[in-house]
């Protein structure tokens, strides 16, 4: 039988639409599910919605809707978000489904029969937003210690669950299984929490009715957390599909935010102990996404809507950012400028350039076909060696939940491959007629891209598959799996297509521009791409490598000669292709109060929509000319490699008003 991997997310409250924080957890779970599928495991990935309780009942009342109708609408929006984010869950559990109600009632009855549930009276505090009971002494300034919001005094008849009876058994389990609560800091917090002693837990309510009735006493509804945690059993067929349940239980990973680790590592394991079921292997409490140092909340008005981000940047870009930018386990800041920086440096620049340059050179030197690898020199052995190490490190990091490190390793390989282009200088090999070595270099590059497609698949499934297709490979990345990461499996003779950039560079007005450029610059330094690049060059579709464009010396000129050139900054207002000329773009530009049209031969390197809004540099006093019948009143500046496979615009490094003189 294949090894299994069962991963869950929290089931989210339909008290509001989901924000980027929820998308964060679900994206991580999805990346892990996809990784384990790649590794050949039989994966079950469960998410869902936590639909009962006082909070939801009140929200529905505020909206003037029956609770079921209210949750139906919101839950549909959850599923729509997961569809758009490409979340590959195997089941979506709703706690209002009959299959779940049956399981919860059964669990309640079974624990009651065991003598671990008794009836008494609860008198104490309750935080409705957190759906949590608090003792007087636990409050902070009379407020909820978790969320800081006001609490309500309750006094009602309730059923209680004897947590206290299991306290020592739980402590032993936590101590003997260091992998049970991760990261270690949360494990220590939970051990400290246990030191204070466990109170029995109130697990029913009578003052509202939006919940699952207690089977033996239907005036009570089951406490929403007791109900919600049980979803992890319902979702894998507990009491319904014994074969499925035996296959996947216990869960390998409950992925949750740090604020609900306590429910998952104290209440949940004790419920399972009372049911004589094995405990999940790991509960991982990740950190929060923070917005400019602040917790996201509706009242602060800083809630980030994932739909808008997907509209603007695409699902894969957002997924990659969430997985790469935030140190897994710790809190991390989310900001638009950090997002743009990351996308420009890692995706547009590092990954985009590697693919674009390789495809362009394969086309130029081998009619697009991956050649049989020829003789290797020492330099050519380095990339395969590094690739082997990176695949190993990537596996280890994914298995031990050091996710950022896994992506960092992949980007080390991408960075090395970009540098390899500069060092191996295929254009020079072509010029010198070293066809054999050239074939080796190009094969190495295409093979690295194939491995990268597999490795980035958990983070960017759509992109990975596109790269796979661009290489001419058949089938899906998922079918190929991690086993296909062995170096040398790329068959010669495949045709790699040249395609528009996967991730066009994002330019923003004002601060965004600077932030974006700083990002590209940082990446250049970090990944060791060709020295001497301006960030914009580095980020454009083809990186002119320093060694690639070694200029032929021209006769000396004087300063007066240079002063004859009127070089000015211009802003691109509109751009379109020129009919019948596949290399030309027609640009409308603002030269500082003056509008002009110029025609530029950059259509193979830039798409028109990428250019609009950008600042460029033009020779403003060039004699006007007509190209393909279109008037060109000036010329833009761009740098390119000697062989023309890579080209980048020359741009001011900071935003400047159009018309600014370049000298």
Q: Does 11 bind ligand MSP (CB under 6 A)?
A: yes
Strand, helix or coil at 14? coil
Nearer to ligand MSP, 254 or 356 (CB): 254
Contact 326, 332 (CB under 8 A): yes
Least distance in angstroms from the C-beta of 4 to ligand MSP: 21
- Please identify which residue in 5, 6, 13, 407 interacts with ligand MSP, judged by CB under 6 A: 13
Taking CB under 6 A as the criterion, which residues in 197-256 touch ligand MSP? Answer: 228-229, 231, 256
Site string for ligand MSP, 262-301 (x = CB under 6 A): --------------------------xx------x-----
Q: Does 403 bind ligand MSP (CB under 6 A)?
A: no
Least distance in angstroms from the C-beta of 325 to ligand MSP: 13
Least distance in angstroms from the C-beta of 317 to ligand MSP: 19
Rounded CA-CA distance 481/466 in Å is 16
Question: Residue 287: is it exposed, middle or buried by C-beta count within 10 angstroms (0-12/13-18/19+)?
Answer: middle
Site string for ligand MSP, 458-487 (x = CB under 6 A): ------------------------------
Least distance in angstroms from the C-beta of 260 to ligand MSP: 5
Least distance in angstroms from the C-beta of 458 to ligand MSP: 18
Q: Does 48 bind ligand MSP (CB under 6 A)?
A: no
Give the HSE-up count for residue 518: Cα atoms under 13 Å, Cβ half-sphere: 9
Nearest in space to 287 (alpha carbons), one of 536, 21, 520, 73: 21
Q: Does 260 bind ligand MSP (CB under 6 A)?
A: yes
- 3-state SS of 166-191 is HHHHHHHHHHHCCCCEECHHHHHHHH
Q: How many residues bind ligand MSP (CB under 6 A)?
A: 19
- Please identify which residue in 24, 45, 125, 457 interacts with ligand MSP, judged by CB under 6 A: 24
Rounded CA-CA distance 144/133 in Å is 9
Least distance in angstroms from the C-beta of 25 to ligand MSP: 3
Least distance in angstroms from the C-beta of 30 to ligand MSP: 13
- Please identify which residue in 257, 472, 481, 592 interacts with ligand MSP, judged by CB under 6 A: 257
Contact 3, 41 (CB under 8 A): yes
Distances in whole angstroms, Cα of residue 441 to Cα of each of 160, 320, 363, 409, 641: 69, 29, 14, 22, 18
Least distance in angstroms from the C-beta of 355 to ligand MSP: 32
| Residue 380, both tokens | 């050519």
- Please identify which residue in 5, 6, 7, 21 interacts with ligand MSP, judged by CB under 6 A: 21
- Please identify which residue in 5, 6, 12, 125 interacts with ligand MSP, judged by CB under 6 A: 12
Nearer to ligand MSP, 147 or 567 (CB): 147
Nearer to ligand MSP, 46 or 441 (CB): 46
Site string for ligand MSP, 49-88 (x = CB under 6 A): -x--------------------------------------
Least distance in angstroms from the C-beta of 254 to ligand MSP: 8
Least distance in angstroms from the C-beta of 228 to ligand MSP: 4
Least distance in angstroms from the C-beta of 129 to ligand MSP: 9
Question: Residue 514: is it exposed, middle or buried by C-beta count within 10 angstroms (0-12/13-18/19+)?
Answer: middle
Nearer to ligand MSP, 22 or 450 (CB): 22
Taking CB under 6 A as the criterion, which residues in 521-580 touch ligand MSP? Answer: none
Nearest in space to 180 (alpha carbons), one of 278, 274, 276, 275: 278
335 alpha carbon, distance to own chain's centre: 14
Least distance in angstroms from the C-beta of 13 to ligand MSP: 4
Give ∠ CA 122-125-130 in degrees, rounded to 5: 115
Least distance in angstroms from the C-beta of 239 to ligand MSP: 18
Nearer to ligand MSP, 13 or 407 (CB): 13
Contact 66, 112 (CB under 8 A): no
- Please identify which residue in 5, 7, 25, 51 interacts with ligand MSP, judged by CB under 6 A: 25
Q: Which residue has the tokens 């549909």?
A: 76
The full length of the chain comes to: 663
Contact 236, 245 (CB under 8 A): yes
Contact 463, 506 (CB under 8 A): no
Stretch that binds ligand MSP, among 18-26, 83-91, 443-451, 582-590 (CB under 6 A): 18-26
User: Could you tell me what percentage of the chain is helix, strand and coil, using 3-state DSSP and rounding each to the nearest 5?
Assistant: 45, 20, 35
Rounded CA-CA distance 101/234 in Å is 9
For 52, phi and psi rounded to 5 degrees?
A: -95, 180
Question: Residue 491: is it exposed, middle or buried by C-beta count within 10 angstroms (0-12/13-18/19+)?
Answer: exposed
Q: Does 600 bind ligand MSP (CB under 6 A)?
A: no
Least distance in angstroms from the C-beta of 296 to ligand MSP: 5
Nearer to ligand MSP, 230 or 645 (CB): 230
Stretch that binds ligand MSP, among 257-265, 389-397, 437-445, 500-508 (CB under 6 A): 257-265
Nearer to ligand MSP, 272 or 354 (CB): 272
Nearer to ligand MSP, 220 or 286 (CB): 286
Strand, helix or coil at 418? helix
DSSP string, 479-545: HH-GGGGSTT-SPTT-BPPP-S-SSPPP--STHHHHHHHHHHHHHHHHHT--TT--HHHHHSSSPPP
Q: Does 22 bind ligand MSP (CB under 6 A)?
A: yes
Nearest in space to 371 (alpha carbons), one of 381, 379, 362, 382: 362
Residues at the interface with ligand MSP (CB under 6 A): 10-13, 21-22, 24-25, 50, 228-229, 231, 256-257, 259-260, 288-289, 296
């Amino acid at each position: 039988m294949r090894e299994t991997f069962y991963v869950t997310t929290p089931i989210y409250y339909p008290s509001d639409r989901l924000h980027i924080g929820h998308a964060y957890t679900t994206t991580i779970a999805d990346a892990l599910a996809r990784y384990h599928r790649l590794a050949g495991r039989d994966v079950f990935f469960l998410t869902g919605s936590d639909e009962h309780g006082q909070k939801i009942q009140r929200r529905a009342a505020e909206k003037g809707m029956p609770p079921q109708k209210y949750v139906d609408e919101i839950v549909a929006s959850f599923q729509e978000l997961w569809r758009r984010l490409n979340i590959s869950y195997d089941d979506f559990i709703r706690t209002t489904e009959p299959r779940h109600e049956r399981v919860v009632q059964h669990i309640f009855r079974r624990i009651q029969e065991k003598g671990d549930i008794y009836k008494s009276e609860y008198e104490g505090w309750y935080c409705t937003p957190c759906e949590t009971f608090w003792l007087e002494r636990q409050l902070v300034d009379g407020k909820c210690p978790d969320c800081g919001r006001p609490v309500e005094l309750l006094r009602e008849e309730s059923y209680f669950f004897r947590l206290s009876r299991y306290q020592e058994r739980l402590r032993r389990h936590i101590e003997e299984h260091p992998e049970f609560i991760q990261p270690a800091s949360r494990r220590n917090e939970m051990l400290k929490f246990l030191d204070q002693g466990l109170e029995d837990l109130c697990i029913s309510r009578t003052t509202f009715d939006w919940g699952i009735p207690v089977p033996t006493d239907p005036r009570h509804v089951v406490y929403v957390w007791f109900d919600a945690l049980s979803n992890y059993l319902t979702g894998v067929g507990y009491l319904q599909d014994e074969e499925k349940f035996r296959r996947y239980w216990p869960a390998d990973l409950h992925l949750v935010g740090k604020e609900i680790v306590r429910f998952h590592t104290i209440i949940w394991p004790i419920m399972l102990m009372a049911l004589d079921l094995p405990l999940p292997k790991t509960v991982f409490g990740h950190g929060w996404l923070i917005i400019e140092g602040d917790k996201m909340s509706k009242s602060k008005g800083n809630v980030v809507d994932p739909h808008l981000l997907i509209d603007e940047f695409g699902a894969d870009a957002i997924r990659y950012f969430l997985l790469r930018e935030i140190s897994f386990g710790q809190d991390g800041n989310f900001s638009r400028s950090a997002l743009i920086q990351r996308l420009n440096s890692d995706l547009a620049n590092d990954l985009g350039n590697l693919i674009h340059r390789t495809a362009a050179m394969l086309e130029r030197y081998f009619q697009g076909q991956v050649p049989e690898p020829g003789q290797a020199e020492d330099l050519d052995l380095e990339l395969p060696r590094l690739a082997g190490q990176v695949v190993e490190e990537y596996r280890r990091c994914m298995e031990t939940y050091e996710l950022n490190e896994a992506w960092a390793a992949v980007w080390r390989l991408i960075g090395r491959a970009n540098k390899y282009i500069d060092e191996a200088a295929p254009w020079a090999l072509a010029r010198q007629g070293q066809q054999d070595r050239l074939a080796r270099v190009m094969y190495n590059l295409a093979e690295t891209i194939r491995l990268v497609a597999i490795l980035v698949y958990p983070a960017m499934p759509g992109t990975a598959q596109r790269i796979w297709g661009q290489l001419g490979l058949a089938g899906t990345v998922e079918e190929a799996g991690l086993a296909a990461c062995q170096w040398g499996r790329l068959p010669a003779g495949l045709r790699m297509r040249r395609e528009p950039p996967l991730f066009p560079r994002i330019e923003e007005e004002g601060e965004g521009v600077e932030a974006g450029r700083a990002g590209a610059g940082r990446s250049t330094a970090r990944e060791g791409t060709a020295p001497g690049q301006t960030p914009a060059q580095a980020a454009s579709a083809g990186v002119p490598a320093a060694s690639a464009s070694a200029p032929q010396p021209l006769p000396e000129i004087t300063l007066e000669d240079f002063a004859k050139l009127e070089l000015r900054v211009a802003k691109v207002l509109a751009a379109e292709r020129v009919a019948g000329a596949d290399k030309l773009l027609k640009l409308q530009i603002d030269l500082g109060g003056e509008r002009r049209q110029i025609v530029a031969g950059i259509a193979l390197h830039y798409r028109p929509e990428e250019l609009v809004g950008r600042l460029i540099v033009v020779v403003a006093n060039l004699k006007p000319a007509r190209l393909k019948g279109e008037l060109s009143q000036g010329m833009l500046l761009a740098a390119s490699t000697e062989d023309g496979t890579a080209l980048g615009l020359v741009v001011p490094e900071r935003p400047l008003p159009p018309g600014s003189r370049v000298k």
